[in-house]
């Protein structure tokens, strides 16, 4: 009986190596965040075009590449800081699963590819918005995080622009107030989103020498501030129907139900004692809320554009009659 031949073992090793590199690459580009950014862009496209076309997929690919490239460049920029934090030390660069030169090359290639697709398929305005987002994230926000604990406020502009890219790509006007109220919703939502995440890892940030909100405010003060931001998020959401975005009464009802649901969780968070209070549980619910608002508004627009308007009461009366 012989042992397993060497060529088979080499092939298995290469397959495992390729799989590990692929997994590390997905971590480098923060694929889940990049897909969420792409989804918000597609929502902006649907809100103005009322449908999904081949052009939509081109813009989606471009925004996905830009987001992936920007995230990869951010990890390249912060690789030394990531080594000092428990939350980030297992990322591809600190853990040495990818080389810095490879990460930088991947980042620049993705940004260039996304920019080229936008330029060739849509035009200069979406391209300018996309490049501005990359520059703001990697050129401004990344450095502000090392200077001030309030960097999340200007940094929130990053998530507010992708819906505008979709809106303009779908034929909407850049000065239309409807897209700016939606953009405002995503801007406000991101501030408590970022702060809740930072607060859950406050010790990590302090260990890495980064500015931390916990050095400026007590836990109770921070809870009050975050509660106000969450309340502002809810108000901005309920303002969206006033701009003519909602076509169905059922969508109003769902938005109102979601708002009360998040408000109830925010109140529970505010009332919890410092030892009981976990920033993570409200962080998750805040993200679910934003995603469902995005989904409801997109579905409402698609149904309205397809002239699928079902009145349940009339249908029931017709059946009875």
Here the tokens at position 229 are: 């931001």
In angstroms, the CA 30 to CA 26 distance is: 6
3 state SS of 137 = helix
Here the tokens at position 130 are: 């996309």
* Helix, strand, coil share (%) of the chain residues, nearest 5: 75, 0, 25
Q: What's the pLDDT at 136?
A: 95
Q: What's the pLDDT at 113?
A: 95
For residue range 25-68, what is the model confidence (pLDDT) as tens digits?
A: 889 999 989 998 999 999 999 988 888 888 889 999 999 999 99
Q: What's the pLDDT at 17?
A: 79
Domain boundaries, the chain: 11-147+161-170, 175-321
Q: Measuring CA to CA, which residue among 59, 306, 21 is closest to residue 162? A: 59
Residues of the chain scoring pLDDT < 50? 1-2, 4, 6-15, 275-277, 308-317, 320-321
Q: What's the pLDDT at 94?
A: 92
Q: What's the pLDDT at 12?
A: 45
Check: CB of residue 166 under 8 Å from CB of residue 45. Answer: yes
Check: CB of residue 240 under 8 Å from CB of residue 185. Answer: yes
3 state SS of 307 = coil
Q: Per this entry, what is the length of the chain?
A: 321
Could you write out the DSSP letters of every residue in 251-304?
HHHHHHHHHHHHHHHHHHHHHS-TTT--HHHHHHHHHHHHHHHHHHHHHHHHHH
Residue with tokens 């998530």: 159
Here the tokens at position 298 are: 């997109």
- The whole-model pTM stands at 0.84
What kind of architecture, by CATH, is found in domain 11-147+161-170? Answer: Orthogonal Bundle (1.10)
Q: What's the pLDDT at 14?
A: 46
Q: What's the pLDDT at 16?
A: 53
């Amino acid at each position: 009986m012989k042992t397993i031949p060497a060529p088979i073992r080499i092939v298995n090793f290469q397959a495992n190596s390729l799989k590990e590199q692929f997994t590390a690459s997905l971590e480098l580009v923060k694929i889940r965040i990049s897909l969420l950014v792409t989804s918000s862009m597609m929502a902006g496209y649907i809100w103005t075009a009322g449908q999904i076309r081949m052009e939509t997929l081109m813009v989606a690919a471009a925004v996905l590449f830009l987001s992936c490239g920007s995230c990869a460049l951010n990890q390249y920029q912060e690789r030394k800081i990531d080594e000092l934090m428990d939350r980030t030390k297992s990322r591809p660069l600190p853990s040495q699963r990818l080389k810095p030169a490879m990460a930088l090359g991947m980042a620049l290639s993705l940004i260039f590819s996304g920019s080229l697709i936008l330029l060739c398929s849509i035009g200069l305005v979406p391209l300018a918005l996309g490049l501005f987002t990359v520059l703001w994230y990697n050129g401004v926000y990344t450095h502000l995080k090392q200077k001030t604990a309030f960097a999340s406020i200007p940094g929130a502009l990053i998530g507010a622009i992708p819906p505008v890219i979709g809106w303009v790509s779908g034929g909407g006007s850049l000065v239309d107030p409807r897209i700016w109220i939606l953009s405002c919703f995503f801007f406000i939502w991101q501030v408590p989103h970022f702060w809740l995440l930072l607060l859950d890892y406050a010790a990590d940030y302090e260990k890495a020498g980064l500015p931390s909100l916990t050095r400026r405010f007590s836990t109770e003060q921070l809870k009050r501030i975050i509660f106000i931001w969450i309340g502002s998020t809810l108000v901005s959401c309920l303002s969206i129907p006033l701009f003519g975005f909602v076509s169905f009464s059922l969508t109003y009802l769902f938005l109102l139900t979601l708002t009360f649901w998040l408000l109830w969780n925010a109140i529970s968070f505010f009332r919890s004692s410092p030892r009981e209070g976990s920033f993570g549980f409200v962080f998750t619910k805040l993200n679910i809320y934003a995603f469902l608002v995005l989904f409801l508004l997109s579905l409402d627009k698609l149904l309205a554009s397809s002239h699928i308007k079902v009145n349940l009461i009339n249908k029931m009366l017709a059946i009875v009659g």
